[in-house]
Amino acid sequence: MKISGSTVVVTGAASGLGAVTAAHFSRRGAHVLGFDLEASLPKTGSSPGITYVPVDVTDPVAIAQGLDEAAAASAPMRVLVNCAGIAPSARILSSHGTHDLDLFAKVVQINLMGTFNVMTLAAERIAASELTEEGERGVIINTASIAGYEGQIGQAAYASSKAGVIGLTIAAARDLAQHGVRVNTIAPGVVETPMLAMVSDDYRNALAAGVTFPQRLGRPEEYARLAAFLVEHQYMNGEVVRMDGALRMAPK
């Protein structure tokens, strides 16, 4: 799948992995629509090659409206990269009592249901496009986490939501194969995002020390390059790719 000359939708595009991924695809010649909550979007308008659209991934109506804008672009809509998500921490049992059910539901609603919402509605529009010379119509990249395999203490909700994204991958790839749409998932390890910028150097160093090699935090640019690779490599389909430096998460 060619990136240049395509319309690419990136969710969670206002910060972190989504922002870097949107910029990367824009530099590769794509017209990028960046979806995020209205309060999170840049106040100064769009960056070159990126059009920001206020979209809540839990709102099917807002998603449909944003995707209609993408489908109406001069470049055909070919790619979706789902980066939107949240990662609150809470134990199942703690000194404060049991895990709040509303919090658990919110995490699943955004991380798993939100991913499914956007993927499903995007796939409908991609499937309506013309086949490329290579015989495909588009690619969907979802974002899980290695917590979906090895959830740590306090990650019951987050790990459950990301395990759902992992399980969704092969089923979605099989469902959408007849429409010429590939589906892959990236499961990052510990990546240097704005969230980690707020913690102490000692804590960041401790996280990096747990990585097998290279012994450092992952970089958002590495996620963006991997997403682009999965788009361009036609035989990559139904795969969950760990991007973690061979890290296997300890309990805490």
Active site residue ranges: 158
Structural tokens at position 248: 């296997």
d(C-alpha 1, C-alpha 211), whole Å? 32
CB-based contacts of 52-55 (< 8 A; 24+ apart in sequence): 52/13, 52/14, 55/11
d(C-alpha 226, C-alpha 186), whole Å? 8
Structural tokens at position 127: 């499937």
Nearest to 10 by CA among 46, 45, 51, 59: 51
d(C-alpha 135, C-alpha 101), whole Å? 45
- CA 52 → CA 19, 34, 245, distances in Å? 11, 5, 32
d(C-alpha 239, C-alpha 251), whole Å? 26
Burial 4-37 (b: 16+ CB within 10 A, else e): eebbbbbbbbbbbbbbbbbbbbbebebbbbbbbe
